Structure 1
Amino acid sequence: MLILLPISRNLISFMRGASICFRGPWRRQLDKNLKFHKLVAYGIAINATIHVVAHLCNLERYHWAQSAEAEGLLAALSKLGDTPNETYLNPIRTFHTSTITETLTTISGISGLLISLALTLIMTSSTEFIRQASYELFWYTHHVFIVLFISLAVHGAGRIVRGQTPESLSRHNVTFCRDHHVEWHTAARCPVPQFSGKEPSAWKWVLGPVVLYACERIIRCWRFQQEVVITKVVSHPSGVLELRMKKRNFKMVPGQYILLQCPSISSLEWHPFTLTSAPQEDFFSVHVRAAGDWTEALCKAFGADGQPLQGPRSLPRVAVDGPFGAALTDVFHYPVSLCIAAGIGVTPFASLLKSIWYKCCEPQTQLKLSKVYFYWICRDPRAFEWFADLLLSLETRMREQGKAHFLTYHIFLTGWDENQAFHIALHWDENTDVITGLKQKTFYGRPNWNNEFRQVAYSHPSSDIGVFFCGPKALSKIIQRMCRLYSSADPRGVHFYYNKESF
């Protein structure tokens, strides 16, 4: 069943994006199952390696069986097939045959080599370094699994693995024939055994996943044809482009992402972008920062002045697939939530904070969530000025609604130069922060997580606190350790539940 892996991510992504079919715990469980994607992929790679090594060892054993030193049953079985009334068991017919040549001149050998190369390419191009350095290389190379599936389907057609036929087995006393193999041609109880290749069956395992993948591709093509209307294009500082779009029957939850394609830039490339709008808004949006060839071309194609579009047809067409992912939805299932973002990991929280604001403003909505702590650690906030503007808007709205206590946020700046430090010190006594313009002043340096978790635990002594993190692995391990450290052994005490958003 491991062969289901190459399509599992696409299939589960589609299933978790189907808001009508999968709701609540089912959708959250599908999101958590994606964590096993890499683990099972590594399991397939290890299994394939063992498979290849076993074949090579068997070929060497077959080769040695044709040597003059071979004797006994092994030599007798290897010599079968030299006369017209015999069938062979050993595919290496002479000792002078090269095992490498034999491997590369058979259907099984060629297809096995293609399977090994395809797996190697898929695994190596899936590393985090390759994905960050060249997402296009990862994307295109990952589709080598098509070659993998075809090769796997025909791999058994070579019938290199052979065995005794059922008819031959029915005429033999296996124990007697094993001990009296020298009498095969004369003993009535032991006629010459007949062999044939095993019936290929790999196609049976490939057929199901291929059908599922074909269905998923058909659905994606259907989504590709659906019209996406761009309602507004906003150009933010630091080279960030905001696209606001509408699409028929588009439903989302906070924290989801979409796959975006612009055919005028590339007809094959789909790039993931986190949704930054709230479900309550009448549009969905993404923020794109020019950080590569494709994103630079997209920003160039969508020159924006921040005003509603007068001629949407003059802009390049975009296609949207999704939405996918919904791990952050669990924020609303805890009375207290602790949200921690580092750098670009702040993007998924834009939609979440907007959604929290809308839910707070709906008088008929009864929320289990009563308090949100938000931490943002960044080296250069100017790269995410659009998010600082969002925080400023939320801060103003919540203060006007008398709910300023609902959201407590802390921004930590980890990088600055001498000129910035002088400017910060000069304007420190002002009512708003000199960096972000917010009422809450920016902290400088890295947070002391022991102090932060201790304070939260002290403020909510008998609560279940959901911790949601999006950022680098090193910080993730620290946050996870803090959750274990400050969770009480008493069932009536405070408990921190760690949730990591894959980004």
Structure 2
Amino acid sequence: MGNWIINHGFTAVMMTVWMGINIFLFVWFYFFYDLGDQFFYTRHLLGSGLAWARAPAAVLNFNCLLILLPICRNLLSLLRGSFVSCSRTMRKQLDKNLSFHKLVAYMIALMTAVHMIAHLLNVEWYNNSRLGDYDDLSTALSNLEDTNETTYLNPIRKTDIDPQQIPTYIVFTTIAGITGVIITLALILIITSSMEVIRRSYFEVFWYTHHLFIIFFAGLVFHGAGRIVRSQSNINAHNCTLCKDRIADWGKIPECPIPQFAGGFPQTWMYVIGPMVIYLCERLVRFIRYMQRVQYRKIVMHPSKVLELQLVKNGFKMEVGQYVFLNCPAISQLEWHPFTMTCAPEEDFLSVHIRSAGDWTDKLIDIMQKLPEGAQGPKMGVDGPFGTASEDVFDYDVSMLVGAGIGVTPFASILKSIWYKFKDSDPKLHTRKIYFYWLCRETHAFEWFADLLQMQEKEMEERGMGDFLTYKLFLTGWDESHARYVNTNYDKDTDVVTGLKQKTHYGRPNWDKEFEQVRKENPKSVVGTFLCGPVALANVLAKKCAKYSDVDPRKTKFYFNKENF
């Protein structure tokens, strides 16, 4: 239990607080509408459907306030910088922004479903009351005349069209009905296009459909303007407990005047206006960055269809492991794609390595391959840099860096920065040991990164710091001919795949063995484990960090960090 608390305790507290607020809002507003005297007559028409419709609406307002904030990357980077002097635990929460964004989205979807179903039933009950299917009180309430829109309770009026068509008519002709349909359709498209299979295989569909959130929020702001749900406004003059059984005396005796009703004031806009303004500022900053000039310093095609772009942008500053969003108008005016930078903060340019992984990257690589030698590429917009978990790599005594395939890119930045720090004898380097693991399916994937590792290997040996960086490369896929070639050349001083003195391992790492070794070599240390790779590997490493950590301050602790885009 103690091991789990080290890595997940604060997250559990934050989730408990968030869920607690959701439950409180639901319960509070449920009983507010289910017990409030001003809703006595409304409940007589709708029953518990009133509370079941309004309680989810309160939860929706709260979560719609939150949904945009985790994707305001500039805001998060600003907060991350402000938390530099705070605990790493707080900064780790900011790195889980997308997970929280998804969680809030699921809550919005659930509450929307409950709210929608309850209101569809309410429309049916309103209509049945209008038709006189229930008791005399329901009929009397539905027949109240519309005097300056202060008297009626049932929104389905006598002047409406044929009763058999009224429920559908109300849904598609009222402000609440039309906006409700629009909001629901937009939400369905947003959520379904956000599934992992769509995001990975058809990113453009996800990208464009996700921007339906603009329609969603616009509909949300106007949804309550219809004021369909009404409460009694003259409750002090007309006591419903006394008058509900004296329908014939309404308006004839002083103690039972005709009940009057009013719709509730729309409140959703008050919840979402702040986040919407913040998001608009976010988009303005992105537009300004897009308009800034970007020049190409170098364009390099590496093996395995990996494109390296070295770009120059005035005033650009970064930290290790950060990422940028790139936009190429020649491919798409609207699409922005995230890429981790492979340069170091000490360099005067920014670089990214882009693997062929979809239509956008394939088109970009194709354009770059057709350029004449030394020519400038197409216009490129750069938004960023944005902070990630890898920024904290030098805040730990010991760091374990785990990259899978092209997921090695943030660690290229880190390893380059280490080289510069040793070159300049930087006294601020807190980290005393780094373990680097790289998992690849094919040998060609190692080629573009091997030069950097060779440089690091040579530099560490010349400075007598050979023990500072321990790296292990794992080839997870190979054929028989490759295996025979490796066996034939195994006695060579350097690895036949990478040219490094450290030999390539075949198969997947034994993570229990690796963590046990790190713990044994670094007693009493705080170890940061950083991953840029698939979710399955993240789950394994998170469990290992919990398994091999100890709450005893005299023993080793492992903190898990994962890159999230």
* Fold conserved between structures, TM > 0.5: yes
Amino acid at match of 1:397: E
- Conserved? CA contact 2:80–2:387, under 8 Å: no
Structure 2 residue 356 is matched with structure 1 residue 281: no
How far 1:21 sits from its partner (Å)?
Answer: 6.2
Partner of 2:25: none
5+ unaligned residues in a row in structure 2: which ranges?
1-61
SS in 2 for 1:210: helix
The verdict on how the C-alpha distance between 1:160 and 1:227 changes in structure 2, with shifts beyond 3 A counting, is: same
Partner of 1:99: 167
- Conserved? CA contact 1:258–1:275, under 8 Å: yes
2:177 alignment partner, one of 106, 109, 124? 109
- Conserved? CA contact 1:238–1:384, under 8 Å: no
Structure 1: how far apart are the matches of 2:98 and 2:116? Answer: 28
Partner of 1:213: 279
- Conserved? CA contact 1:232–1:306, under 8 Å: no
Structure 1: how far apart are the matches of 2:297 and 2:149? Answer: 79
Identity %: 51
How far 1:113 sits from its partner (Å)?
Answer: 0.6
Partner of 1:244: 310
Structure 2 residue 194 is matched with structure 1 residue 134: no
How far 1:266 sits from its partner (Å)?
Answer: 1.6
Partner of 1:14: 74
SS in 1 for 2:186: helix
Structure 2: how far apart are the matches of 1:23 and 1:163? Answer: 47
1:368-447 → structure 2 map (5 Å cutoff): 368-447=430-509
5+ unaligned residues in a row in structure 1: which ranges?
none
- Conserved? CA contact 1:19–1:251, under 8 Å: no
Deviations 1:47-93 (A, max 9, x none): 21121122112112212323444114333212222799983211234
1:351-362 → structure 2 map (5 Å cutoff): 351-362=413-424
- Conserved? CA contact 1:253–1:326, under 8 Å: no
SS in 2 for 1:322: strand
SS in 2 for 1:276: coil
The verdict on how the C-alpha distance between 1:384 and 1:155 changes in structure 2, with shifts beyond 3 A counting, is: farther
Amino acid at match of 2:518: V
Structure 2 residue 231 is matched with structure 1 residue 163: yes
Deviations 1:150-202 (A, max 9, x none): 1112212222222233xx33422343223433421422211111223333333
Structure 1: how far apart are the matches of 2:536 and 2:330? Answer: 39
Deviations 1:232-266 (A, max 9, x none): 11121222111111112211111211111111222
- Conserved? CA contact 1:244–1:285, under 8 Å: yes
Structure 2: how far apart are the matches of 1:305 and 1:224? Answer: 23
Structure 2: how far apart are the matches of 1:152 and 1:334? Answer: 45
- Conserved? CA contact 1:114–1:148, under 8 Å: yes
Structure 2: how far apart are the matches of 1:200 and 1:493? Answer: 56
How far 1:20 sits from its partner (Å)?
Answer: 11
Structure 2 residue 128 is matched with structure 1 residue 64: yes
1:143 alignment partner, one of 197, 211, 215? 211
- Conserved? CA contact 1:234–1:304, under 8 Å: no
1:486 alignment partner, one of 548, 558, 564? 548
Structure number with higher helix proportion? 2
Partner of 1:24: 84
Partner of 1:203: 269
Question: Which has the bigger relative contact order, CA under 8 A and spacing at least 6?
Answer: 2
2:103 alignment partner, one of 18, 27, 39? 39
How far 1:18 sits from its partner (Å)?
Answer: 4.8
How far 1:140 sits from its partner (Å)?
Answer: 0.7
Structure 2: how far apart are the matches of 1:69 and 1:221? Answer: 59
Partner of 2:9: none
1:313-392 → structure 2 map (5 Å cutoff): 315-392=377-454
Partner of 1:51: 115
Structure 2 residue 330 is matched with structure 1 residue 269: no
Structure 2: how far apart are the matches of 1:488 and 1:23? Answer: 25
The verdict on how the C-alpha distance between 1:256 and 1:58 changes in structure 2, with shifts beyond 3 A counting, is: same
- Conserved? CA contact 2:80–2:94, under 8 Å: no
How far 1:127 sits from its partner (Å)?
Answer: 1.8
SS in 2 for 1:3: helix
SS in 2 for 1:172: coil
2:367 alignment partner, one of 281, 301, 316? 301
How far 1:272 sits from its partner (Å)?
Answer: 1.1
Worse overlay, 75-84 or 268-277: 75-84
Partner of 1:3: 64
Structure 1: how far apart are the matches of 2:95 and 2:545? Answer: 21
- Conserved? CA contact 2:150–2:262, under 8 Å: no
1:253 alignment partner, one of 316, 319, 335? 319
How far 1:489 sits from its partner (Å)?
Answer: 4.6
TM-score of the two chains, using structure 2 as the length reference:
0.82
CA RMSD of aligned residues (A): 2.5
TM-score of the two chains, using structure 1 as the length reference:
0.92
SS in 2 for 1:88: coil
SS in 2 for 1:130: helix
SS in 1 for 2:369: coil
The verdict on how the C-alpha distance between 1:19 and 1:342 changes in structure 2, with shifts beyond 3 A counting, is: same
Deviations 1:125-168 (A, max 9, x none): 11221110111111111110111111112212222222233xx3
SS in 1 for 2:347: coil
The verdict on how the C-alpha distance between 1:327 and 1:489 changes in structure 2, with shifts beyond 3 A counting, is: closer
